Amino acid sequence: MSVFNSDKECNGFSFTGINEVIGLILDVVKSSLGMGLTNVLLYSFGRSIGEDLFNLHPCLKSGGASLEEANEYLVNCLKIHNLVKDTFILKAFRPDGRLELVCRINSKEFEKFSKEDSDFKTSLVYFFYRGILSRYYELFFKMPLEIKKVSTCLDENENTICEFVLITPLEERVDEP
């Protein structure tokens, strides 16, 4: 039997699933390398997932998808793969006419990997999702975006909610893909 399918105990330590194994790995990395390097790894891991999600959609890869299709695809993928509890992406225009995307992520599913340390939980959520968003939209727009964190907070149910604003390279509404 696999440790991923049932409760197993080894020298007083038990695993009940993949979340516990990933949580243990993250705790070991954090204690060995420190919070800074762990954040770099989480960001890199998120970027890798963002690129994989982008490349899995043939219309995105060929450049034939609209921004609405790209947003909808990303939201659906994150929900289907249990990387988020809920998320949404809104389009808005800055006073200077540049398009920006407002992303709000409720990360209850992913934050199970960090049980007690709220700073680590916030860091885990922020850097992982920032990596996904930055690479996904970098590939979509074919250039890097400016990403600003609006907020990261815990709600009344201890869910971490992270909000980002992605400032796109599009200058005018008519340039929108």
Q: What is the DSSP string of 114-140?
A: --S-HHHHHHHHHHHHHHHHHHHHHHH
Rounded Cα–Cα distance for residues 134 and 136 (Å): 6
Which of the two residues, 120 and 6, has the higher pLDDT score?
120
Phi and psi, residue 104, nearest 5°: -125, 130
Given a contact cutoff of 8 angstroms between Cβ atoms, the answer to whether 42 and 130 are in contact is no
Phi and psi, residue 81, nearest 5°: -90, 10
pTM of the full structure: 0.77
Rounded Cα–Cα distance for residues 34 and 28 (Å): 9
The residues, ordered by sequence, that sit 6+ positions from 150 with a Cβ below 8 Å of its Cβ are 102, 163, 164, 165
- Give tens-digit pLDDT for 31-78: 777 777 888 888 898 899 999 999 988 888 788 888 899 999 999 988
